[in-house]
Amino acid sequence: MAGEVVVDALPYFDQGYDETGVREAALALVEEETRRYRPTKNYLEYLPQAQYHHFETDIMKTEFERLQSRLPIEMMSMKRYELPQPPPGKMTDVSAWSECVENSQAQLEHQALRYVTGRDVSAWSECVENSQAQLEHQALRYVTGRDV
């Protein structure tokens, strides 16, 4: 076939390795080279010492120190995700309960924002419109004193 290129320099394409004596000749060449270049005890001694600390961040250093001290890993604090009730002395206080409800709404809004920012712009716009509608509904409910 005229103009066709055959790539024959690839080790898995080369022919002739199955012929008698080829394997033995290759092994003899490897053996000769290993006799000529005896490995030293530390063949990398001419190279400068590796400087791994250049790549360490403060977080990595702290973690390495923790591992070296054999301290257990700190559990993730779930404090910020808790929805605490009012203290026992204020269980009947409406303002204390209002504060707890506002805290829960703020946490819910933060979670919703994290979820929505991972999606596209149209979902973000829809979320903003939904939040505004909820605020208007709550304001109307507050003014009228009844569910609308």
CA distance 59 to 65: 10
pLDDT of residue 1: 56
pLDDT of residue 68: 96
DSSP result, 126-147: HHHHHHHHHHHHHHHHHHHSS-
The position carrying tokens 């596209």 is 120
State the chain's mean pLDDT as an integer.
84
**Tokens found for residue 20:** 């008698």
**Tokens found for residue 118:** 């991972």
Q: Which amino acid is at 8?
A: D
Does 44 or 57 have the greater pLDDT score? Answer: 57
Instruction: Give per-residue pLDDT as tens, 46-67.
Output: 889 888 888 889 999 999 999 9
**Sorting pLDDT into bands at 50, 70 and 90, what band is 119?**
low
Does 113 or 30 have the greater pLDDT score? Answer: 30
* Domain residue extents for the chain: 22-68, 90-144
Instruction: Give per-residue pLDDT as tens, 127-138.
Output: 889 999 999 988
**Tokens found for residue 91:** 């269980």
* The pLDDT of residue 113 is above 90: no
pTM of the model: 0.33
Region 22-51: mean pLDDT is 86
